[in-house]
């Protein structure tokens, strides 16, 4: 999807919803400077076109007892497309894996995992991940603290880029 097909109001709607997906349509319309009915039509169109993939609560993992966060670098024995897809499917089935990204370079995948404690993560690591089919290497990095966790995209950068190309 090319962002140049979105007009400034569509981009503003996306930026506002990214910052606060719980606001009412009336409040969203007020913030972007249009009336509520066309605002709702635009939001629905953005959803149908796939620009809006969903709405989520930003849950505090530590408050819920998930004290351990780990980034895991995974190398596979085979990078054939079927093997890559099989590993991605396996990651989708593992509850502790919250994100899975295929990379270019020395490592094939990086996973973001959360667990209530180190023992639970270690059980997953040794019982599931390292023993999974096609996994050749695993390196883990325990998160000490997070300095930034911003969702979505930086709309100010997008607007600046679009203004330069106009």
What average pLDDT does this structure show over 54-64? 93
- What is the reported pLDDT for 78? 97
> Rounded distance, CA 166 to CA 164, Å?
6
Return the CATH class of domain 3-57: mainly alpha
- What is the reported pLDDT for 1? 46
- What is the reported pLDDT for 25? 97
Q: What is the pLDDT of residues 143-153, one digit of tens each?
A: 999 999 998 99
CA geometry: angle 98, 100, 101, nearest 5 deg: 145
Of 53, 63, 57, 150, nearest to 114 by C-alpha is 63
Q: What is the pLDDT of residues 78-128, one digit of tens each?
A: 999 999 999 999 999 999 999 999 999 999 999 999 999 999 999 999 999
Domain boundaries, the chain: 3-57, 62-142
- What is the reported pLDDT for 151? 87
CATH architecture for the domain at 62-142: 2-Layer Sandwich (3.30)
């Amino acid at each position: 999807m090319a962002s140049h097909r979105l007009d400034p109001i569509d981009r503003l709607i996306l930026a506002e919803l990214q910052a606060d997906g719980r606001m009412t349509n009336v409040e969203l319309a007020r913030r972007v400077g249009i009336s509520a009915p066309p605002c709702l039509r635009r939001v629905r169109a953005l959803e149908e076109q796939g620009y809006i993939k969903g709405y989520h609560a930003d849950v505090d993992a530590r408050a819920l007892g998930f004290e351990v966060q780990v980034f895991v670098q995974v190398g596979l024995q085979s990078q054939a497309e079927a093997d890559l897809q099989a590993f991605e499917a396996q990651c989708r089935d593992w509850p502790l894996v919250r994100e899975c990204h295929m990379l270019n370079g020395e490592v094939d995948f990086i996973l973001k995992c959360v667990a209530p404690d180190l023992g639970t993560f270690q059980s997953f690591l040794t019982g599931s991940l390292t023993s999974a089919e096609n996994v050749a290497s695993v390196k883990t990095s325990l998160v000490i603290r997070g300095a930034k966790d911003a969702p979505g995209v930086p709309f100010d950068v997008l607007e600046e880029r679009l203004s330069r190309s106009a």
